[in-house]
Structure 1
C-alpha cells in the first residue's frame, strides 16, 4: 500500500516538474531584442558619400562649358513659388488664356504660430523620412573593376524630369581612343556641360556615345551626363546599358513621384496629447448595452478622445455624448464594411480599433501604444485582451508565403513572434495581433478591410497587409472583454437575435467561405496554421 502511495506521489511530483518546465519554456524568451528606431545614417553610408565626393573631385581641374538647354532642366533643390502675370484683363479671359497661379501656403500663419508649426512639421517630416527610407534608396557606385564605374542603385528621377547620373567613370590602360556608350528604353541622355576634347554623339536620344583621346577629359565629361525620362509612369524602372570596348554593365534608374508625406502634430515629446493623436473606432450591431459600457469606460480614463461608431442596425439607436460620432450604415452591411467606414472618418494620426464588447481599465494605457509607434518603425501595435476568467491573450501570429506553381502559393501561419523590441521589453515583432490594436491611420487605409467579410473575419486584414504592414504586439496594454457566458434561459431577445446573425451558416458568414476568398483574391492554393 505504501509503495503504491510512493509511486503516486512520485508521479505527481514528476508531473508538476514537467508542467513547470513547460511553463518556463513558454514564458522565457531566448530571442534577441532588435532595435526598431527609425533608420539613421550609418558609417557605411558616410563612407560611401565620402568616396563618391572624392571621385567627383578627381577631375575638377578640367574646365567645362555649361549647356544651358540641358542644365536648366536639372533640379535645383530650391523650388520657387512663382506664377504667371495675367496678360489680358477681360471678362472670361481666363477660359481662353489660362495662366499659372501661385499661392504661398504659409500666409495664414504668422509670428510664433508659424515658427511653432515649422518646428513640429520639420520634426514630423524628419521622422517620416527615417521611417520610410530603405537601404535600396542609398546611392552606391561600383568601382571600375570591369573597367566601367557606375551607380549600382540609388539613382531616381521624377516622371518626365531630368537628373544627373552620378558615379559614371572609365579606368582603362593607355590607348589611342577611349569610348563609352549608354542605352536606355524609357528616356534619353544628354550632357549638362561640354568638356573640350570630348565627342558626344546621340545627345537627346536613347543611345549616346562619348569618346576622347584623353581619359581624364572623358571622365570629366561623364560627370555631366544627364538622363531625362520621356515615358510617363508613376512608378517604373529604366534599365541602362553602359558599354565600352569588350565590357558591358547594367544599372537601373527608378522613375516615380516621391511618396507624399502625411504629417501630424505629435505634441511635446514627453507629453503626448492622446485626444489630438488618437481616435477610437468601433463597429456595433445590436449590442448597445455593451457599447455604452465601452463608452463609459473610455470616458473614465480619456474624457476627450473622439469615438467613431459604425452602426448597421436595422433600427438604429442614436448614441449621444461629447466627442462621439455615429455613422449609420445599410442594415446588416457587415463587420469589415463597418471597419472601413469608421476608419475613413478618422482625422488623427493614429486609430485605435476596439470591439464594442470590450471595456477599458487602468491597464488600458494608450500612451504606451503611442510611445511605441512614435519611437519605432512599426505601423501597427496590438495589445492583450483579458477575459472574465482572468486569462489574457495576445494572439500573435507569424505568416509566410511560400512560392507555389500555376495553381497558386501557400500561406503558412503559426502562433508566435519573431523577436522582442529594444527599449520595450513587453513588446515583440509579429505579423498579426488580436482584435485590439493601434495603428497609423494612413497605413490602415492603405490596406483596407474586405467588405465581403460580413460577420466573421480578422486575420484576413493582416493577410492583405502582409508585406506592407510592420506589426508589433505589447502584452502590457490590456483591454477587458465582457463575458460571453450566457445560459440559454437568461438570454434576452436582443442577444438571441445577435446570435442568429453572428453564428448563422450563410455563405457570407461561414468559415467555409474564406478558402474561396483566399484562393480567388490572394492566389493561395493552400493554408497551413496551428
Structure 2
C-alpha cells in the first residue's frame, strides 16, 4: 500500500465517524422517542449555529497541540560540556528574525493542514487531503449528505435547501453531472466555475439523488503551481466544512539500474576529502584496493601543491587551495554514480573487518528504511572499540524569540528490532555508508571550511534515518606530526565564516539557536 493510499484510508476512517455518530444517536433515540423528535434536536444543533471559520479554528488547534514551550535554557540541559551561545550581535539578531519570519511563511504554505471533523455533521467528507496534478482534475470523493439528517426532519423544515461548494482560493473550478433529469425540485447553478450551488426541495427529492450528484463532483485545477493548496468550503444551511486539496507535481522516481545479485562494486563508491595528507590518503587507497578491488574511489583534494594519488579506480578532483572541508565533501558526493556511497576520512584504513556487505544487507532489507549507517573503530592489533563516543543523539528544545536550545549527548534512541547489533541514533562517526540521493538532499554546508561534524547532522536532523551498527570496523590512524595540516585544522588559518560571524555565532544564526551544548 502506497503512502497516498494510506492517507486517504485514514482520512475516511476519521470522517465517517461523524456520520456513524449521528446514526448511532438516531438508533439510540429511536427506542425512546418518535422519529420526528429524533432528528429535530440534531438538526437544530447545526442549523442554528453561526458559521465557523474552520481555517482559523485549525490554526488555534495547532497552537494548542504544543505541550512544550516557554523559554529553554542550555544551563538546564543535563549534559557535560561547554555551553555555546551568549548574546548575539543586535544586527545579526534582527536579520535572523526577518529570515525566520520568511522561513515560517514559506513552510506554512505547504504545511499539512489540521482538519477538524465536526460533531453531529449532516455531511460526510474526507478529513485528509485530496491530491491533483496542476491543471488536471480530481474527483472530490467522500462528500455526501447524511440520509437521516433531512429525511426525518419535521415537515416545516422541508423548505428549499441550498448546498454550496466554492473554491476559497479560486485555484480551480467545480463541476457536477446530474445522473437524472434536473427539474424544478433540483437546480444546479455555477457548473465549471469556482462556486457551485445545488438547490433542492427535501420533500420532492431523495437524499440518494443528492448524493448521486455529489458523487460526480470534480475539481479542476486552473492555476499552475508545482505545489500549492486549495480549500473547498461546503455549506448546507448554516453548517460549513472544509475539504482540502493539494495541487502538486508528482516527483519522478530516480532509479538505479542495479540488480540485487550484482556485485557490491556496482552499488557502492568510496569517497573522501584530503588536504596536505598524501601519506594518509595513499594508505587508504591501498587498503580499499586490497579488500574491494574494482570499487570506485573519489577524492577531493585542496592541497597547496597537488600530488597525483596513485591507485586502481581512483578519480582525484583538484580544488582551489584550502577551498574547504565541506566544499570537498559536496564535490565528491556530486560525482557519485552509484546508489550508495561510503564516506571515510583520509586517515582511515580498511581491514578484513571493514565488511561493507553488512551495511548493504540492511539497506536492501525491505523491512527497514535507513538513509545512513555508521560503524566503529579498531586498532592495528584488531582490538575493537564499541564506545558511546561513536554514536550520539541530538535533542532540540523549544525556546523564544532568542531561539531554541540544542543538546548533543551520548546514547541512542532505540535498538533496531530486525538487527539487534544496530541502534537508531542522530549522529555517527565519519565512517558510514549512506544512500546517495538522501544525503545529496541535505548536502554539506560549504561555510564550514575547517571544522564540521555535528553541524552536518544538525542539518540532517529530521531528514535522515540514521543507525549505528556494531558489525563493521575500520582503523583510524591519524597523522599527528603533520604541522601544516594541524595549523589549518585547529586554528591559525580561520575560514571566512569564522572571521565574519564567529563559528558559534554562525551555528546559532543558521539554526535559530539561542545556545547549544555538546556532550
Q: What corresponds to 1:182 in structure 2?
A: 165
| Greater relative contact order structure (CA < 8 Å, 6+ sep) | 2
In the TM superposition, residue 46 of structure 1 has moved relative to its aligned partner by: 9.7
In the TM superposition, residue 517 of structure 1 has moved relative to its aligned partner by: 1.4
Q: What corresponds to 2:47 in structure 1?
A: none
Distance 1:144 1:201 in 2: 29
1:226 aligns with 2:201: no
- The RMSD of aligned alpha carbons is 3.1
1:193 aligns with 2:177: yes
Distance of aligned partners of 1:39 and 1:347 in 2 relative to their CA distance in 1, 3 Å threshold: same
CA contact (8 A) 1:141 1:149 kept: no
Secondary structure of the corresponding residue to residue 194 of structure 1: coil
Q: Alpha-carbon deviations, 1:292-348, whole Å to 9, x = none?
A: 111111112110110000000111111233311110000011110000000000011
Aligned pairs (5 A) from 1:89-100: none
In the TM superposition, residue 359 of structure 1 has moved relative to its aligned partner by: 0.8
Distance 2:130 2:4 in 1: 20
Q: TM-score, normalised by structure 2?
A: 0.71
Secondary structure of the corresponding residue to residue 173 of structure 1: helix
Secondary structure of the corresponding residue to residue 463 of structure 1: helix
Aligned pairs (5 A) from 1:295-444: 295-375=285-365, 376-387=368-379, 390=383, 391-393=385-387, 395-444=390-439
Secondary structure of the corresponding residue to residue 211 of structure 2: helix
| Alignment match of 1:501 (pick from 444, 469, 488) | 488
Distance of aligned partners of 1:352 and 1:293 in 2 relative to their CA distance in 1, 3 Å threshold: same
Secondary structure of the corresponding residue to residue 473 of structure 1: strand
Corresponding residue pairs, total: 399
Secondary structure of the corresponding residue to residue 517 of structure 2: strand
Aligned pairs (5 A) from 1:504-519: 504-508=491-495, 513-519=502-508
Aligned pairs (5 A) from 1:12-411: 45=9, 145-171=120-146, 172-174=149-151, 175-184=158-167, 185-191=169-175, 193-196=177-180, 197=182, 198-213=186-201, 214=205, 215-268=207-260, 271-375=261-365, 376-387=368-379, 390=383, 391-393=385-387, 395-411=390-406
Q: What corresponds to 2:68 in structure 1?
A: none
Secondary structure of the corresponding residue to residue 151 of structure 1: coil
In the TM superposition, residue 504 of structure 1 has moved relative to its aligned partner by: 2.0
1:463 aligns with 2:458: yes
CA contact (8 A) 1:211 1:218 kept: no
Distance 1:157 1:201 in 2: 24
Distance of aligned partners of 1:363 and 1:520 in 2 relative to their CA distance in 1, 3 Å threshold: same
Aligned pairs (5 A) from 1:437-456: 437-456=432-451
Distance 2:305 2:173 in 1: 66
Q: TM-score, normalised by structure 1?
A: 0.69
Distance of aligned partners of 1:276 and 1:192 in 2 relative to their CA distance in 1, 3 Å threshold: farther
Q: Alpha-carbon deviations, 1:236-259, whole Å to 9, x = none?
A: 222222211121112311111112
Q: Alpha-carbon deviations, 1:416-468, whole Å to 9, x = none?
A: 11111122111111111111111111111111111111121011111111121
Secondary structure of the corresponding residue to residue 427 of structure 2: coil
CA contact (8 A) 1:192 1:224 kept: yes
Q: Alpha-carbon deviations, 1:357-407, whole Å to 9, x = none?
A: 001111111111112122221111111123458434462222233232222
CA contact (8 A) 1:398 1:414 kept: yes
Distance 1:45 1:373 in 2: 28
In the TM superposition, residue 506 of structure 1 has moved relative to its aligned partner by: 3.9
Q: Alpha-carbon deviations, 1:143-174, whole Å to 9, x = none?
A: 99401111111410112221111101011222
Distance 1:428 1:40 in 2: 29
Distance 1:308 1:398 in 2: 30
Unaligned runs of 5+ in 2: 20-110, 152-157
Q: What corresponds to 2:516 in structure 1?
A: 527
Distance of aligned partners of 1:421 and 1:330 in 2 relative to their CA distance in 1, 3 Å threshold: same
CA contact (8 A) 1:264 1:349 kept: yes
CA contact (8 A) 2:427 2:454 kept: yes
Q: What corresponds to 1:104 in structure 2?
A: none
CA contact (8 A) 2:373 2:467 kept: yes
Distance of aligned partners of 1:403 and 1:46 in 2 relative to their CA distance in 1, 3 Å threshold: closer
In the TM superposition, residue 186 of structure 1 has moved relative to its aligned partner by: 4.2
CA contact (8 A) 1:229 1:255 kept: yes
Secondary structure of the corresponding residue to residue 255 of structure 1: strand
Distance 1:190 1:483 in 2: 67
